Amino acid sequence: MKTLDDLLGEGVSGRRVFVRADLNVPFDKANPGVISDDGRARAVLPTLIALRDAGARVIVASHLGRPKGAPDPKFTLAPVATRLGELLGSSVVFASDTVGDDARAKVEALADGQVLLLENLRFNAGETSKDDAERGAFADQLAAFADFYVDDAFGAVHRKHASVFDVPARLPHYAGGLVLKEVEVLKKVSESPEQPYVVVLGGSKVSDKLAVIQALLPKVDKLLVGGGMCFTFLKAQGHEVGKSLLEDEMVAVCADLLEQAQGRIVLPVDVVAAAEFSADAAHDVVDASGIPADRLGLDIGPKSTELFASAIAGAKTVFWNGPMGVFELAPFAAGTRGVAEAITKIDGFSVVGGGDSAAAVRTLGLDESAFGHISTGGGASLEYLEGKTLPGVAALEK
């Protein structure tokens, strides 16, 4: 695939460049409109700065949340435009629609080196439509804005959406540095990881991670399982899990995986169990083999944290996706923190697989530079490791 460097080498001064970015940032629940983690915005800065400084007229597009194909004030990108301008050190023009009158006027008025952010792509039904014609019609409108297309939205490349899959078919297209780096890193950990290779998986559901477990299990030395998904595995071992998150329909599947793994799947030996899902709830550490009927597990316990840290310590490659507990609530953050800190200390290469794991690194105030790579795409990372074709990457390779 052609790269941003190739495009810059061809010259972009005075030309319009459409950049698909991933600005799907989280907002503070208590303060609507206040971005709680701008990591995804910061990740695309090198591409935007390179294009701006080369004199391009930069048109940035992204989705935010899951609106229903129509404008919804809850999902406006306006606060993101403000933050992006702060990060760039120069104001970002914001269009109040995506392909409407305001967007067209502001695209036409762009000056060399200026950056414009379009309103949320998903305010248009054509962006996510499964109908090729509807999606293509929206892609035609987006492509008409620009001379070139750059995809630097790794967090969206697993979606067959208009701005990801169809627009690059209509314009000369290039991969941004972020997409190139993500693919390079994930190829390394999926095809040629240095051993010992340890994978740490958390999050809510086994069903969400089943395909990646099946793909990685033959390659890993240890697979450490925490988060809500561990309780279905514990149930498969015959343990009581109280009111903890449980996928009954996956118990037999987990039993099969444990048998296949021959001891390579490592589960918690203790958990922090609480009376209810609340930071103020009564809680204590209990043995993972018998969680009380009136309690639910919300974090791995201290012995489990030590066990996991010990398994991580000797690794040459670590891939981590999913927190060990409800790290957003202080009483249940210790497991995630302990595992993350253990990963920073390995004498090898570590990858944080995006999503909640990347959010945890920043929320807990950990040093991002201590990890080998922090992905911007949780779902995209997992699908790549599962061996799936990512539509956005395939479009860039054509």
Amino acid making up residue 103: A
Is 121 annotated to bind a ligand? Reply is no
- Do residues 351 and 312 lie in contact, with contact meaning Cβ atoms separated by under 8 Å? no
Residue 355 known to be catalytic: yes
* 22 known member of a binding site: yes
Annotated binding-site residue? 20:
no
Phi, psi of 27 (to 5 degrees): -115, 155
- Is 341 marked within a binding site? no
181 appears as a binding residue in the annotation: no
Asked whether residue 7 is marked as a ligand-binding residue, the answer is no
Cα distance between residue 87 and residue 107, in whole Å: 21
348 annotated as belonging to a binding site for a ligand = no
2: amino acid identity, one letter: K
228 is annotated as an active-site residue: no
Give how far the C-alpha of residue 48 lies from the chain's centroid of Cα atoms, to the nearest Å. 20
- Which residue among 205, 264, 316, 388 is the active-site one? 205
Residue 120 assigned to a binding site: no
Is position 66 annotated in a ligand binding site? yes
Enumerate the H helices of 144-250 as residue ranges.
Answer: 177-191, 206-216, 230-236
* Separation of alpha carbons 178 and 375, rounded Å: 9
Residues recorded for the chain: 398
Annotation marks residue 15 as catalytic: no
90 is in an annotated binding site: no
User: What is the enclosing helix (H) or strand (E) of 47?
Assistant: helix 45-53
Selecting among 15, 16, 20, 40, the annotated active-site residue is 40
H or E segment at 40? Answer: helix 39-43
Question: 355, 372, 378, 392: which is the annotated catalytic residue?
Answer: 355
The answer to whether residue 205 is catalytic is yes
328 in a known ligand binding site: yes
Residues at the binding site are 22-24, 40, 63-66, 122, 159, 209, 297, 328, 354-357
Catalytic residues: 40, 205, 355, 379
What residues form the annotated binding site for substrate?
Answer: 22-24, 40, 63-66, 122, 159
Annotated binding site for (2R)-3-phosphoglycerate: 40, 122, 159
